[in-house]
Each structure stands twice: as structure tokens, then as C-alpha cells.
Structure 1
């Protein structure tokens, strides 16, 4: 294998001849450009440079070898000819400046909390502590992607604050010696905690443990993990060595080229620990995540930017360079044409696994989904963590809307309602369970846990939440999750914000759907 000087690599940074350096090896990726899932421009921005730091956190091991022919490996880079890398901005000060630019605070609102700076995951007492610790450790790119949400972040913020409007109703003279927070999902899967890890992409941006680290943490707590379609490790790597009793779901973003999704479904079927398919519907197109787009442009930190970055050749190229966030690149190839009429029959032809629909945000869609049992066995009320349509309702609002307009959804045999978004406390989880949710998902919390301390950070997140759930259940006088119910909560403060119907109190579309079905 020949040794190649850096000056030679720099000569190949165009669509007609594109070389990149990966793990000290030089690869010719010219032929691969048209088929790259993230688009051609992303690679061209890295052309003629060392792309390892951009490539490694977001590509599973083995991707190079499976995507490129052996002859694409040209040789080893002559390290002596490499320029001295410029420091990439990382850490708390960069993130603090990014927040100040858009007026976003990172604390809980309590002065003492904002002053508290935990140094280890063991010192973290709540999820805000975890996020603070991770914020100081994460790279600018990772923080921007994890923190970002749609437009002005109203929905992201409201996801959490809505829970504060719900009051708990503790009971006294109840023996609370024993507390069992376990649940059963999809009729047969026993989990030790009532929360699960929602599909969260690009975990290795935050820590090398990645999604596999989340899986190992989930195993220790008997929790479910839904593997992201855009995970930074392969499904096989994530479930490797999982205990026999551990279960996973797999998130599906249907691709415009359906054959790609069909091939992936066939691959997932070979993993017995994956028990259902989570079809994600709340982001058929990417939301406008300004933190991500502003801070995470591909190749922005390279010491020698590619020709594309330096001299965009068109208005279209300049626009793509300016908005090259991680989130937007993940949606390349995602199909925007899914419908009730076409998509579920297509899925039925390619998988017999139960389907969980993620992204339900109205009672009408919840009602429609409940009529598709037994193929659809659950829905996840979700607004994509506030990352899609800003000012969309928090999931807890949608749950209350279902209770008001079509409560039969919560009692449909063989059909469950889960939710995610904005969970910061065990009391948030307990409130959702009391209102009829079967399980509650966390997404950013797992990613920030990784950023704070790898697998150990995720374990600390789960330890905190489990402890808070058990405390809340005991103080409510409920020894088992099944004992939680509407009597445990007061939702009057939220009721005024719940959708009443097209004319503010008359017939809803849900009523018309019910009459037709």
C-alpha cells in the first residue's frame, strides 16, 4: 500500500475526482457520490481533507468496507505532510455563546440550581444536572444537534412546562412499603420500569459508547430501547450480547426508494430481540432546527476547507452549505408520501412484526390508528421532541384530547397508547401513566446521559427516573402502576388549552370518523 502526501489528496476535491482521508487511509469516493444517503454535497464539502472527525461519530463500524469496493482504498496518508489541525471549538463556553445568541437559557429557573456545576454523573441529582454536565463535555456539533428544535423552540419548552400545570393528589394512610414500577407492553413483554428510550439518532456524536452503551444501560434497568433508523451503530452492534429477556423496537423511516426499506426490514427480522417496528410519522420532512443549522455545518472546523465550502458555485450550493446541520442531512431519501391507504398494506407485505405508530398528535389520528389492530398495536403520542412543527401540542395535551373526544381508544383491546417528549422528572412519567399512557419515552435524556458519562451516564439517568417514579407512586398511595388513574391528578389548569372542535365545542372530525368506521 503506497504512502500518499497530503498535497496530492488536496488535488482531488471535485465531483469528477473526490478523495477523502479516513482513519489515516486515502479513499477514492467519486463513484459513491450519487448513492450517498446524505447527498453528494456533504461529501464534497469534505473532499481533499481528513474527514475522520466528521465521519466517525455518525457512521457504524464497517460502513466503509460495505459501501466501497477494495480498489477505492488508494493508500495511507503520509502523516508527516499533514497540516497542524486547528482547534475545534468545544465545551461550555461555546455552547453558552450559542445559547446567548438566540436567548435560550439552560437552567431550571432556580438560582441555586443554575450555580450548581456537577463534575461527575454520581453528583447529578436530576436530569437538568445531567444536561449541564453533558453540555460542558459535548462538542459544539453534538450539543447543537441534541439541543436543537424547531423554529423558536416553543414546542420543545412547552413539552416540559405542560407537566407543571398538572397537580398530583397524594393520599394518606396507605401502606407504601412495597412499590412495583414494572409494566407489560404489547400484551406480553415485561419491563421493570415504565419508561423506554425513544429512537434517538447519532448517539456516538456524544460518546463512543453510542447506542450500544444505551442498550447496556437499558438492560440493567429492564427498560425498552427503540433503535433509531439513523443510529450511529448498526442494529447488530447495538443488540449484540443483549440478555435474552431484553427487548428492542426498530424505528422505520420509509425511504422514497422502497427497496431500501424492504431490505432493512429483512435484516431486522434476523434479530430476534427486535419485537416491533416503530413507524415514525411526525417528521415526513425535516423541521427548521436553527441551532443545528447554525452550529453544525459539515466541514466548518476543517483547517483546510474544501473548494465547495470556500467557493460555492451556485446559489443552491451556498444555501446548502449554510444549512448543513446534522438533522437535515439525516432526512435525505425519506419518503413524504405515506398514507393510511398505501403504507400499512405495504408494511403488511414485508413484516409480520407488530407496528407502533410514532408521531400521533390529534385524537382523530389516534382513533384511526386504533381501528387498524391487530397490525397496529400501539401509538406513541409525540411531536418529535419539538423538532418538527413548532407550536404543535405537547403529547400530554394530545392524551387529554383523546380522553375528551374518544376515550374508547384507551380501552381498545390489543391497542396501547405511549407518549414521549419533555420528560424531566419521574413525576412527569407518573402523571402521564395516571392519564392512561401505557409507557413513557425519553430521548434527549439518554443522549445527554451519554454525553455526561457514556454508558454510566445513561445508567444514572435511569436510576434517577426510577427513583423519582417510585417516590411519586408511594406518596400517591399506589404500589403498582395499574393503580395509577385520573383520581391521582388534577388537570384543570390544562383543560382550557385542549382542542374543543372546529367550532369550539361542536362535532369534531373524530366524531365523523367514528360514525364512518
Structure 2
């Protein structure tokens, strides 16, 4: 789609609709699928619609900034691109198209371990972007160590994102059905190579010997694990994520985990940077997550759908739509800076009945972690 035509797409939903006309059946089955009945995938987006915004008036918002920091890295946008594999299924430019778009916005891109292009080529395409790299620990530990050595040689990569929410694959039926057809036609069956035996102390101590970069844990889905992450100095951030609904169906949404942390261990927000991903389709979704304590908010499928409809320009259009909507929402809320967004700007009363009344023993959890 030409850049002038992209301007006529006014929402992430419209971009997704157009992408479905551009993507191959293989790409659709891989990108869009989620586990089992896809309840968590749907809940990730629906939960934001249930939060009510509380605008304040008589605030001069003629000057409004979207700038923020993550792990000490300055960003011009509180929206990042989550690690998403095989971007070249969407467009020949693949991850380099995403990187070039992020560069235009001084945004963060977390490069997927299963990217369709090399990390070095991706960062080269985005001189104005900030980069992190997603780590899956493989059963072949020596192969993982070799890859980490390659990442050490790329100074543009600022932190490591250790993914924990998919030690085994979820049952993504649309994707499985397509792969069964490929195997029936002579294709090789896929095997799951991720190590399922990771533990807190053993894994983090090993990883600390392989990199000096800060570590962010992706896939935190309870306040107990959020609190446990703060017990390890090497961990500088956590991503509240259920893998886009692609791992455990009926797992909690990131919003619910944010609320759990606020209720049971709010000190987590002062100890590590908290990121979220999953379900973001509007700027109002972004400000709601930020008001609950997230530092930045990730998009995965939306970036891939933008790539499908227009390559780099399509991803730029996705980021522009969300940036403009976020700016508008902030001005109408009476907020000039990201750091000024607080829980006073939202009404979460619809969720009070869905939260744990009493916390599991955090002290007991700390003792368990200390011996692992």
C-alpha cells in the first residue's frame, strides 16, 4: 500500500483488517493464532475497555511530551515493538523494516530470538532506535552461549529479555492445523527446542556469567513472581505478558497483574522497571497501562500487521496512530508528561471483585526462591 493510502487507515483495527487481505494463509495462521479457545488473547484487549478514564480540567496541556526512559535509555515514545518471530512472513523488509520505523520515533524494538534476519542487520537499519534482544534458553546450552557471545559484540543492544512464559508451546490450533498440512505435503515436523528446566537462582547466575547487560524477565503473570524478580540485583525490569494469549489460555491479563502488584507489593514499581504487552489497540489503552505503573507498553501483532500493509511505512503508520491517540488522551486527561499519569486518572472499580483478596505469602515465596 502506498504511503498516501496508508494515511486513510485511521486505527489499528483498520490496519489489521487490511493486513488480513495481504498476508499469506501461513502468516495468518502463525501471527493471529492463540491457544485453545483464545480467551486470554481476547481478554488482553477487552480488559482495557472496562477501565474508565477520569479527566481533570483547568490544566494547560498545550505542551505535552511522550518521552520516557526504560532502564536508563531515553525514548521519545512509551510504545515499543515486542519480540515477534519471522517478520519476513509479513513483508520482505522483515525486522529491518520495523527497526527503520522505530528509528523514526526513537522507539524501542525488542529483537526476537527467532527473527528472520540477523541482529546485526536489524540494528544497522535503525540508527535512531533503542534495541534489546529476546533470549530463549535452548536445550543446547552451548548454542545459547554462542549466540549470547554474538550479542555481546553488538553495542546497540542495551539489555537482554529472558522469555519465561513459553517453556512449552501452547496449543494454537490454527497454527497446528496449517503445520499438519505442511508435514502432509512433505515438510519437516517442527520440534520445540526451549529448555523447560529453568529456575530462578541457577538460571540467573548462569546468565550473569554470559552477559554484563541488564536482564529483563518476560512473562511475569503473578505478583508473587514480580516480587521474586526484585530479589535478584541482575534483574532490572520485568514484562507482564501472557505471550499474547499464545501460551496458557485463561491466564491473567497484564492489567490484572498490574493491579495485583499495586495491591500486594507496590514496592516492585520502585525496584524494577515494569513493562507490559498484549492487547494494545488504542492510545487510551496505552495511558491506562501507564497510569497503573507500566513504564512502556508493547505491541506485537499490530507492528506485524503494519509491516504487511506497507513495510516500513506501515509500521510507521501504526506507531503514528498510537502516538497521536496517546497524546490526545493525555491532553484530554489533563496530563502533560508520562510520569504524571497515576491511578487517580482511572477508575478500576469493575476489577475489584477479580483480584486476590489476600496475597499468597510473599515471605514464603522469598524463602523458596532463595534455595532454587
Q: TM-score, normalised by structure 1?
A: 0.69
CA shift at 1:511, angstroms? 4.5
Q: Are 2:182 and 1:299 equivalent residues in the alignment? A: yes
1:223 to 103, 107, 123: 107
CA shift at 1:494, angstroms? 1.5
Q: Are 2:349 and 1:492 equivalent residues in the alignment? A: yes
- Secondary structure of 2:269's counterpart equals helix
Matches within 5 A, 1:131-146: 131-146=16-31
Matches within 5 A, 1:203-214: 203-214=87-98
CA shift at 1:171, angstroms? 1.1
1:268 to 142, 151, 166: 151
Q: Report the Cα distance in structure 2 between the residues aligned to 1:493 and 1:508, rounded to whole angstroms.
A: 22
Q: Report the Cα distance in structure 2 between the residues aligned to 1:486 and 1:239, rounded to whole angstroms.
A: 36
- Secondary structure of 2:312's counterpart equals helix
CA deviations 1:142-200 (Å, max 9, x no partner) are 011110000000000000000111100011111110110110111x2110000111100
Aligned to 1:73: none
Q: Report the Cα distance in structure 2 between the residues aligned to 1:382 and 1:152, rounded to whole angstroms.
A: 18
Matches within 5 A, 1:339-350: 339-350=199-210
Listed as ranges, the gaps of 5+ residues in structure 1 are 1-118, 310-320
Q: Are 2:12 and 1:127 equivalent residues in the alignment? A: yes
Aligned to 1:165: 50
Aligned to 1:370: 230
1:361 to 218, 221, 226: 221
* Conservation of the 8 A alpha-carbon contact between 2:11 and 2:321: yes
CA shift at 1:499, angstroms? 2.5
Equivalent pairs counted in the alignment come to 367
CA shift at 1:341, angstroms? 2.2
* Conservation of the 8 A alpha-carbon contact between 2:276 and 2:296: yes
Aligned to 2:137: 254
CA shift at 1:241, angstroms? 4.3
CA shift at 1:332, angstroms? 2.6
1:147 to 14, 32, 44: 32
Larger radius of gyration: 1
Runs of 4+ in 1 over 6 A off after TM superposition: none
CA deviations 1:95-125 (Å, max 9, x no partner) are xxxxxxxxxxxxxxxxxxxxxxxx9422111
CA shift at 1:514, angstroms? 5.6
- Secondary structure of 2:267's counterpart equals helix
Q: Report the Cα distance in structure 2 between the residues aligned to 1:378 and 1:228, rounded to whole angstroms.
A: 17
CA shift at 1:515, angstroms? 7.9
Q: TM-score, normalised by structure 2?
A: 0.95
Aligned to 1:510: 362
CA shift at 1:242, angstroms? 3.0
Aligned to 1:337: 197
2:269 to 405, 410, 414: 410
1:287 to 162, 170, 173: 170
- Secondary structure of 2:260's counterpart equals helix
Q: Report the Cα distance in structure 2 between the residues aligned to 1:515 and 1:149, rounded to whole angstroms.
A: 35
Q: Report the Cα distance in structure 1 between the residues aligned to 2:44 and 2:161, rounded to whole angstroms.
A: 21
Matches within 5 A, 1:450-489: 450-489=307-346
CA shift at 1:237, angstroms? 1.4
Aligned to 1:77: none
Query: Over the residues paired in the alignment, what is the CA RMSD in angstroms?
Result: 1.9
* Conservation of the 8 A alpha-carbon contact between 2:34 and 2:172: yes
Listed as ranges, the gaps of 5+ residues in structure 2 are none
Q: Report the Cα distance in structure 2 between the residues aligned to 1:130 and 1:295, rounded to whole angstroms.
A: 24
Q: Report the Cα distance in structure 2 between the residues aligned to 1:204 and 1:261, rounded to whole angstroms.
A: 23
Q: Report the Cα distance in structure 1 between the residues aligned to 2:181 and 2:131, rounded to whole angstroms.
A: 31
* Conservation of the 8 A alpha-carbon contact between 1:145 and 1:296: no
Q: Report the Cα distance in structure 2 between the residues aligned to 1:146 and 1:121, rounded to whole angstroms.
A: 21
User: Which stretch shows the higher mean deviation, 152-161 or 402-411?
Assistant: 402-411
- Secondary structure of 2:239's counterpart equals strand
- Secondary structure of 1:333's counterpart equals coil
- Higher relative contact order, chain-length normalized (CA < 8 Å, sep 6+): 2
CA shift at 1:461, angstroms? 0.2
Q: Report the Cα distance in structure 2 between the residues aligned to 1:469 and 1:496, rounded to whole angstroms.
A: 29
User: Which stretch shows the higher mean deviation, 386-395 or 491-500?
Assistant: 491-500
CA shift at 1:291, angstroms? 1.0
* Conservation of the 8 A alpha-carbon contact between 2:99 and 2:129: no
